[in-house]
Structures are given as C-alpha cells and as structure tokens.
A and B are shown apart, each in its own frame.
Chain A
C-alpha cells in the first residue's frame, strides 16, 4: 500500500523538505481516512490531477505527501440506492457524460460534464475534484446545486452530509477539513416530472472556462401544471456557484402561463454581482445572465409543453 518515491524531482533546490516524501495509493476508503488523519494538512489528495497539477505546475516539489485515490474502486461507482443516486467522488466527467442513469435522471449534469474541457480532461477529471476545487466556474457545480445535491464527507471520526449550497464559501474555498475525504455526491431521485436546462457561455466551443453558466431545474406537481420546485443556479457570477432564491419563490405554486420570463430574467440579472475578469466583464455577464435565464425558461417550458400535450 505504501510506496515511497523518495525526494521528488527538483525539490531540493528551493524547498527544504521536512521529511521524506510519501506517496500513498490505498485501495480502501478506510485506509485513505487513516492516512488523512495522520497527515492532515501535510498531504495532498489527488484524484484526476487536472486542477492540482496545473496549480502546482513548476512547484510540484512543494507537495510533500500524496494521497492518490486512483485505486479506490468504491469511489468510481455510480449507483442508485433507494431514492437516491450515489456518485462516487472519482467518477470522471466522461462517466457522467455517458452514464445512462445520469442522462435519464439528471440530464443537465451529463450535459455539463460533456461541456468540460476536452476529451482528455473529461477522461481524467473527476466530480470530486471539480467540487473540492470549488472554482466559481466549475461546470458541474450549478447543476449539482440545482439538483439539490449533498456531499458526503468522511473522516476517521465522523460522517457528514453537507448540502451543496453550504459547501462553498469562496473562490476555491470550501468547508472541507484536511482530514476529510469527499466520498460521494448524493442526489435525490426525481419522482416528479422534471424539466431542466443547462447553458454554458464560454469564449470558444471547447476547452473554455465558463464566462457564465446557468442550470435551471423545474419540478412539476402531480397535475403537471403547477410548479412544485424551481432552482436556478449560476456559475462564474459570484465567488461561489449560487442559487437565485428569489426565482424559486417567484415560481413555486405557479403555472408556466403565469410567469413573465422577461421579469424572471431581469431578476437574475439584478441578483448577481459578477466581477470583471479575463473571461468576461461584469456588464457582459449581467446582460447575458438575463438572456440565458429567458432561454432556459423557454427551453424548460417547451419540453414541458411537449410532454403536456
């Protein structure tokens, strides 16, 4: 289980190591938790490495100890248990993109996964990495939030289930502690009629970090007329992915016919306060937030209409 690589390449030059580097690639979650409890902040978890290795490009030597999740088969599974979908933390974007179950129950999660990076990145990058990395532009985060996901965090001491909305606290900041491992993403299976829409705006058609994203999930009551639940979640418009709660309040209990899409779009525009950065300006993001909200509503509406007829 324990493989020691000794000093990593290029490390002695600028960085004095405290001890020999350790590389762990356990097969069991429990072993991983043990290692985490022992090393705490002194170890880095690596899943696909597509964020980590970019962040530490040219200074990999700063990482003393590695916990590689690659051998934990348990974390690679997508399965349905009772009324929920359990997605293992190291399920890759390609898996999400292609899983029949995900496509059936959580279509926009699959679509968002398909919009990530390139085939190479999708083959390596994981859902857990996307979550813990907590980029405001992480593509899976708005759909996960919109589907009311919970994240299972394990440590030697305890198990916690954290709702997506409470997990992210800032750009690249979450509430996860150094001794915790994200093991699963849990999504309640929708039993209602659900209509959803995913929109990603980037500066090109692939390999684009999002300028703005929107995930809209609308669940209908038994009559398939009244909106029972509605969640509009956006990425790249705030320090964390966010849900526009006012949309929920405005939509629940209404029929589609009672909604003014334009007004809802305006609401999204008004409620976000994006910044200027290299991927887009505040003005652009605000403008487009409204437009994509209207588009998403129209898409949701027309798929509802098709099923209603």
Chain B
C-alpha cells in the first residue's frame, strides 16, 4: 500500500509550541482572583482521625476556605471500585491521604495555614505486606469489606496436577518486583474555575484522562456530567500516572472553587507528588513450570500477589492483564494461574505503563532462562520450541487466528541485529577480570487495548471549516506520546490533504466524544480508527456531492494531493478547496463524528477462558551488559528492540516510544525503587529516587516490524507499553549470564548484584550530605 501521510516520519504537530516554550501547561495558567490550594497530608500510614481543628488556620491572613471530608458531597470515588477517599474521613489509610485542603490568596499563605491545622490522631497498627493482609485473621483495611482482598482472577486450562506428573523437569521459582514511581517531569497541576460559561465548574490541568476526571468530579459533587467540563492542557508526561491522583485533586479544587466562588489552583511539589500519587504495583510471583527433557513446556502454575495499597484503584484490571499474559507467549497444554490484589496501608498502586505486565514478564522471562539452564539448552532454543505461531492456542484458550503471530520474526530480527548467537557463545566462556559481559533476551505477547476489562470504543470529530482548514477533536487525550500528530496524519491521509490544514484541539469533555481513556496502548488503534471513520464520512459526503454534480460515479473519485481525481483516467476534477467552496454553496455539511467500537471479546471469570483481547502485539528485546563484579555496577551496553506494531503510522514517534520505553525499563530494572518502610516513603524527590540519566542510556537499535492487523487503522496496533515490559528481564538475563548468578528481585541495584540481597536501609539524606 502506498501512503501519502501515514507511515511517514511526519514532524510532530505540537513541536513548535513545545520547543519555543509557548505551550501552556497546567501550572502556567492564571485566572483573575485565583486562589492557591494546598493539601494537608497524613502524619501516619494508618490512624484514626479523632479531631481536626482548622480554626487557627482559618485566621491566617489570606486564607479563604478550608475543607475537610465533611465538606465533600460524596467523598468516595474510583474508576472500578468507589472506595478512594477524596479526603480522609474517619481514618487515614496511607501516608499520602489528604486530611484538609486550604485555599488562600498566596501559595505561602496556603503553606503556612496548613501548618496551623491541628489534627488529633490515634495511630493504628498497619498492614504493609499483602501476604499479611491475606491472612484470615488480618485486621480489615476497609471495615465495610469482609476481607482485604481486592480481587482474584483465575486461568484454568487442562489438568495441571496431572501434567506435572508427566513433566521430566520441574522448576519452582519466586520473583518479586518493587514500587515504582512514574517520574513524570511535570508534577500534578489542576485549576478549578467555578461558573465559567455554562458549566458549574471547569477543570484545567495535567489530566491524563479527561473523561475519568469528569466522572470523578461530577460524582463527588453529585451533579450531572454536563455540568462539569474538563479541558486538558499540555502534559509533561503521565505514563499512566495522572488518573486517580488527578481526579482527587480536581475534586478537591472543585469543592473549594464552589465554596469560595473563586478559581482554585493546585500544583504539587515533587515531594507531594511522590507522597500522594499511586505507584506501580509490587508483585510477589510464584512460578512452577514443567517441561520435557527436550524442552517442550507441559504445564505452568502461577500465583501472583499484588500490593494494592490503601485503595482498589486500578488493581482489578492491572491484575487481570497479568492473569491473561502470565505464562508469556508459550504454548502450554495445562495452565493454572491466580492473580490476587490485597489492600495494605502502603501507598496505593495503579496504572503505570505496562499495567500488570512488567512484573509478570520479568518473572516469566527470567524463568525461561532458568529453565533453559536446567535443560542445558540456550535461552533462544527453548523459546523457539515453545513460542506462539499462527493458530496457537493461548492459556485462555484463544486461538490466534485473526492476525499474523510474528514472534519468530521479531526474535529472528533482534537476534540478527544483536549478534546474539555469537555473543552468547563468547560470553559463556570464562571471562578474565572483574568486568564480565552477558547478553540476554526477553519476548512477550501483549493484548491490545482494554480487552475484557471494559467497553472499548472511541470517537472523534473532524470538522472542515469554510476556508478548507480542518479541526480535529478526539475524545482521547494526548499524553505526550504524539497522538495528535498520528491522528492528524490519519485525517490528512483519508482526506488527501496536507497535514498543515489541520489544527488539533485539546480534549474538551463538553465537546469531544467520550472515548474512555488514553491507556492500554489503545489510542492509535481505537482513536485512529475513529478519526479515520470521521474522515471517511466526510470523504463520502464530498465524493457524493461531486458525483451528483458532475455525473460521475462517487466510487470512481479519489482524494489525493489536495485534489479530487477520477481514478479511471487520473483526471483532476477539482481541488479540495473548490470542493469545500462548493459544499459551502450547496449547504453540504462537512463535519462528522467518527466512532469505532472494538471487535467483540469474551471472558469467563471462573475459568479465565475466552477471547480476552481481539488482537496482540509481539516483541523481542535483547540486552547486552557489562557487570563489574567487584562493585555490582551494571552498564547496559546495547539494547536491540524488535516490535511488531502492525503498521507504523509515524516511524519517528514510534522510535521515540521505543527509546523511552527502554529508558524506563532500565530505570526500574537496575535502579528505581520507592523505598517504603512501614508505610512511610523514604525517597520523596529525585535526589534519592534515582532514574536513569542520558549517561546511563545504552546504544539502542529499534527494529520496526510491520504485519498489518485487520482491525487497526492501516493495520496499526500498539507500541507504548510493549516497549517497556521487556528491557528489565532482558537485562536480568544478561546479568545472570555475566555473573553466573540469578537475581529474582527488581531492581538489580548495586547491592543485589554484589551481595545478592538488598538490605533495608536506615537513615535519611541528612545523615550523610
């Protein structure tokens, strides 16, 4: 297929305003009479609130209002289970729980007033380990519930017990992962403006999912959705992280704005952000695998326990993705998988790029290497013996028959580009000196979009203006990944016009069609199809209008290069501009709502059988590392990443996703960890929570593999999250080859590499700096 706009490295449509500093982010906005809001957070991870006294704080000069849970019309919200407190009512359940929020004329006054709020607590013992929370007699985190379980998902395929009796080799291993912070560069920012235009309250800010935010705010205020308007600003990163935390901030600001009848702005400091915002779930994973001597997998039994922290948040869906993908892309006749989420008094956990996959991919890909070792096979050979192909049946009983299952292709390409085989042989020989090299691979399959989590549909408006310029408004929100560019390319492609005609609007929930959230690597696929659908409707309107007037068949007309041609003789009939003029004259409507609903899927919660996702992507990453065995330092030398994306709408922004995904994977793979001791967070800024810098980045070789999917726009599927889930296990496998020692816990920090374990750390930065 030949394209004019898609499949091309088109420049980002928002590049100019971003590089020139003109782009407005949440914190850049100011409104007349605006107040500054600031939240008082809990002092303890778990405590009863006996009394809150705001009297003194209210007298502080400049303070306009202080709210507590009492002032919140409906204090509980949540996307899946509504049990997150906007402000703590009777108990604080984690260290970042808000207790009161001040609105004052200056930031300083708000900060000072916060200090004057007196809270009487009764400290309560907390549960900080999900396995403790799971015990029968464990105290309840949410007293209205019967136990601390958030959710339990199952997959049951074949007879695992019997299958294990037939296995010639059985391996049982445990893996764990850590709390990870999203580390978006822009901390949370929200402005709530009361009575603007016809809305009760309008919310601006750094909002990943405007519609989730609207739901939460309307729910909290107990008003209809059409009274709450959310307008998204440019985002300084999100990675799944600006959902519930932003909803709660927006709800607090909205209550204050309505109470004071003044706009209220809230911008978190980094410390507040790390303290309050949800993290990636830490998992404890028990894997048992059985295989024949020849290396054919016969059974897998998996149990994963996720720490949900204080609230349910996204745990039910995060652990669901885990249950579907837990075996990895390997043919297995018998599987028994259980994933659980439990409440604890740790910081709550939610969506973060990967969404339940980084944990299990780390476990399953480490396990495959361990098994290969046991079988005296190379990791490559073992994988090739077991991976999915066309028509393979997954653990959920889904036959992969509606798209190209390209695992072997991505593996082959990554192996070739990394010289995997030669290097693997070389690094297996004994190496002199402290510095030892290793090479490791990881592969995955990943369901595209939401799957059986929720209804999956998206919409977009494409509107041609009188002068031929075009507005696009989609319900899915740019998160910094390049969605606006990709959607503009798709509209331009369909309409046969230059992308310069298009102006892409920010999401405005009172205008844009509700489309769910920018999550699950679904936007190009779902939103792209919606934009395509809208553009196609307009195209049909234009061709029918012309066909009518020029007595040609509308089916013979094509829109290309800013003109309309008769495809039979390639003759130009008129320019796009003339067509728009004609429509203006004839009163033909050149705007359309596009809609796309994902293909049907199915899921049986009892057995975990069905068609959980309508299509999948496949990827393989190979890491080459050098480990200093004297100090535990890991240098990642090179990463090769081969991903089948169906179709690269924009190869450059796609590569950006690969680079960024690998950067984040390297981060949680070898250094990042939110250190939590009895519910208290120890590293609340980037001096202590270390993320990789440019100097930690390896050489990265991205390989784009394109097997167009029947469902995607031009065949496009997903890329955002697949890039993130493979790096850490690939590095772990490379480190294991280099050192001869397997580390089953993330991150592979200095101490784990050198000593084999990480010790709980005391002290604070003040002890040393």
A residues apposed to B, CB below 8 Å = 10, 13-14, 118, 135-137, 171-172, 201, 203-209, 211, 236, 275-281, 283-284, 287-288, 291-292, 294-295
Known: A137-B768, A171-B767, A205-B695. 18 other contacts (CB 8 A): A135-B769, A201-B633, A203-B671, A203-B690, A203-B749, A203-B750, A204-B695, A206-B693, A277-B763, A277-B765, A278-B688, A278-B761, A278-B765, A280-B751, A283-B759, A284-B750, A284-B759, A288-B754
Question: Does B682 touch A at the CB level, under 8 Å?
Answer: yes
Report which of A118, A205, A209 forms a contact with B696, defined as CB distance below 8 A. Answer: A205
Classify the interface of chain A: helix, strand, loop or mixed. Answer: loop
Question: Does B143 touch A at the CB level, under 8 Å?
Answer: no
Question: Does B692 touch A at the CB level, under 8 Å?
Answer: yes
Chain A residues lying within 8 Å of B755, measured Cβ to Cβ, are 283-284, 287
Chain B residues lying within 8 Å of A276, measured Cβ to Cβ, are 759, 761-763
Contact in complex: B761, A281 (CB < 8 Å): yes
A14 to B113, CA, bound (A): 11
Chain A residues lying within 8 Å of B765, measured Cβ to Cβ, are 277-278
The answer to whether residues A288 and B630 also contact, given A204-B692, A281-B761 and a CB cut-off of 8 A, is yes
The answer to whether residues A209 and B687 also contact, given A13-B108, A136-B768, A204-B693 and a CB cut-off of 8 A, is yes
A137 to B109, CA, bound (A): 36
Chain B residues lying within 8 Å of A14, measured Cβ to Cβ, are 112
Chain B residues lying within 8 Å of A288, measured Cβ to Cβ, are 630-632, 750, 754
A209 to B766, CA, bound (A): 13
Question: Does B132 touch A at the CB level, under 8 Å?
Answer: no
Question: Does B694 touch A at the CB level, under 8 Å?
Answer: yes
A283 to B663, CA, bound (A): 29
Contact in complex: A278, B683 (CB < 8 Å): yes
Chain A residues lying within 8 Å of B635, measured Cβ to Cβ, are 205
21 A–B pairs (Cβ distance < 8 Å), ordered by A: A10-B108, A137-B769, A203-B671, A204-B671, A204-B693, A204-B695, A205-B693, A205-B696, A206-B696, A211-B750, A277-B761, A277-B765, A278-B682, A279-B768, A283-B751, A284-B632, A284-B750, A288-B750, A291-B630, A294-B630, A295-B434
Residue of A nearest to B115 (CB): A14
Give the most central of B631, B635, B768: most A CB within 10 Å. B768
Q: Mark B675-697, 1 if CB is under 8 A from A, else 0.
A: 10000001100011010111110
Question: Does B20 touch A at the CB level, under 8 Å?
Answer: no
* In the A-B complex, the 8 residue pairs with the closest CB atoms: A291-B630, A277-B763, A206-B695, A205-B695, A281-B759, A276-B762, A206-B693, A284-B751
Least Cβ–Cβ distance between B750 and chain A, in angstroms: 6
Least Cβ–Cβ distance between A212 and chain B, in angstroms: 9
Report which of B108, B671, B696, B763 forms a contact with A275, defined as CB distance below 8 A. Answer: B763
A278 to B696, CA, bound (A): 20
Question: Does B764 touch A at the CB level, under 8 Å?
Answer: yes
Chain B residues lying within 8 Å of A135, measured Cβ to Cβ, are 768-769
Number of interface residues of B (CB under 8 A): 36
A295 to B631, CA, bound (A): 10
Report which of B434, B630, B692, B767 forms a contact with A277, defined as CB distance below 8 A. Answer: B767
Least Cβ–Cβ distance between B385 and chain A, in angstroms: 38
A246 to B759, CA, bound (A): 30
Report which of B434, B692, B762, B763 forms a contact with A291, defined as CB distance below 8 A. Answer: B434
Least Cβ–Cβ distance between A291 and chain B, in angstroms: 4
A44 to B683, CA, bound (A): 29
Report which of B631, B761, B769 forms a contact with A201, defined as CB distance below 8 A. Answer: B631
Chain B residues lying within 8 Å of A283, measured Cβ to Cβ, are 751, 755, 759
Residue of A nearest to B691 (CB): A204
Chain B residues lying within 8 Å of A275, measured Cβ to Cβ, are 762-763, 767-768
A150 to B764, CA, bound (A): 31
A10 to B112, CA, bound (A): 11
Residue of B nearest to A276 (CB): B762
Residue of A nearest to B747 (CB): A203
Chain B residues lying within 8 Å of A206, measured Cβ to Cβ, are 693-696
Chain A residues lying within 8 Å of B675, measured Cβ to Cβ, are 278
Chain B residues lying within 8 Å of A295, measured Cβ to Cβ, are 434, 630
Least Cβ–Cβ distance between A53 and chain B, in angstroms: 13
Chain A residues lying within 8 Å of B754, measured Cβ to Cβ, are 284, 287-288
Residue of B nearest to A279 (CB): B768
Least Cβ–Cβ distance between B63 and chain A, in angstroms: 12
Chain B residues lying within 8 Å of A172, measured Cβ to Cβ, are 769
Residue of B nearest to A14 (CB): B112
A294 to B759, CA, bound (A): 25
Residue of B nearest to A282 (CB): B759
Least Cβ–Cβ distance between B749 and chain A, in angstroms: 7
Chain B residues lying within 8 Å of A287, measured Cβ to Cβ, are 754-755
The answer to whether residues A201 and B750 also contact, given A10-B108, A288-B631, A295-B630 and a CB cut-off of 8 A, is yes
Chain B residues lying within 8 Å of A278, measured Cβ to Cβ, are 675, 682-683, 688, 761, 763-765
Residue of B nearest to A274 (CB): B768
Chain B residues lying within 8 Å of A209, measured Cβ to Cβ, are 687, 768-769
Q: Mark B225-264, 1 if CB is under 8 A from A, else 0.
A: 0000000000000000000000000000000000000000
Least Cβ–Cβ distance between B769 and chain A, in angstroms: 5
Least Cβ–Cβ distance between A230 and chain B, in angstroms: 21
Least Cβ–Cβ distance between A46 and chain B, in angstroms: 18
Chain B residues lying within 8 Å of A292, measured Cβ to Cβ, are 630-631
Residue of A nearest to B635 (CB): A205
A287 to B741, CA, bound (A): 18
Report which of A10, A236, A277, A284 forms a contact with B762, defined as CB distance below 8 A. Answer: A277
Chain A residues lying within 8 Å of B112, measured Cβ to Cβ, are 13-14
Least Cβ–Cβ distance between A72 and chain B, in angstroms: 27
A201 to B619, CA, bound (A): 34
A172 to B768, CA, bound (A): 8
A209 to B768, CA, bound (A): 10
Residue of A nearest to B689 (CB): A278
Chain B residues lying within 8 Å of A291, measured Cβ to Cβ, are 434, 630-631
Chain A residues lying within 8 Å of B682, measured Cβ to Cβ, are 278
CB-contacts of B726-755 with A (<8 A) = 749-751, 754-755
Residue of A nearest to B757 (CB): A283
Least Cβ–Cβ distance between A170 and chain B, in angstroms: 11
Least Cβ–Cβ distance between B642 and chain A, in angstroms: 26
A209 to B635, CA, bound (A): 18
Contact in complex: A204, B696 (CB < 8 Å): yes
Contact in complex: B694, A236 (CB < 8 Å): no
A110 to B765, CA, bound (A): 26
Residue of B nearest to A288 (CB): B631
Residue of B nearest to A11 (CB): B108
Give the most central of B635, B696, B761, B769: most A CB within 10 Å. B769
Chain B residues lying within 8 Å of A211, measured Cβ to Cβ, are 750
A207 to B695, CA, bound (A): 9
Least Cβ–Cβ distance between A80 and chain B, in angstroms: 33
A283 to B762, CA, bound (A): 13
Residue of A nearest to B633 (CB): A201
Chain A residues lying within 8 Å of B109, measured Cβ to Cβ, are 13
Chain A residues lying within 8 Å of B690, measured Cβ to Cβ, are 203-204, 208
A153 to B434, CA, bound (A): 43
Chain A residues lying within 8 Å of B764, measured Cβ to Cβ, are 277-278
Contact in complex: B692, A171 (CB < 8 Å): no
Residue of B nearest to A210 (CB): B768
Chain A residues lying within 8 Å of B687, measured Cβ to Cβ, are 209
A278 to B635, CA, bound (A): 21
A289 to B112, CA, bound (A): 45
Least Cβ–Cβ distance between B494 and chain A, in angstroms: 45
Least Cβ–Cβ distance between B665 and chain A, in angstroms: 15
Contact in complex: A207, B633 (CB < 8 Å): no
A30 to B530, CA, bound (A): 73
Least Cβ–Cβ distance between B620 and chain A, in angstroms: 26
Residue of A nearest to B769 (CB): A135
A201 to B769, CA, bound (A): 16
A255 to B763, CA, bound (A): 42
Least Cβ–Cβ distance between A8 and chain B, in angstroms: 12
Least Cβ–Cβ distance between A131 and chain B, in angstroms: 15
Contact in complex: B750, A277 (CB < 8 Å): no
A275 to B758, CA, bound (A): 15
CB-contacts of B479-502 with A (<8 A) = none
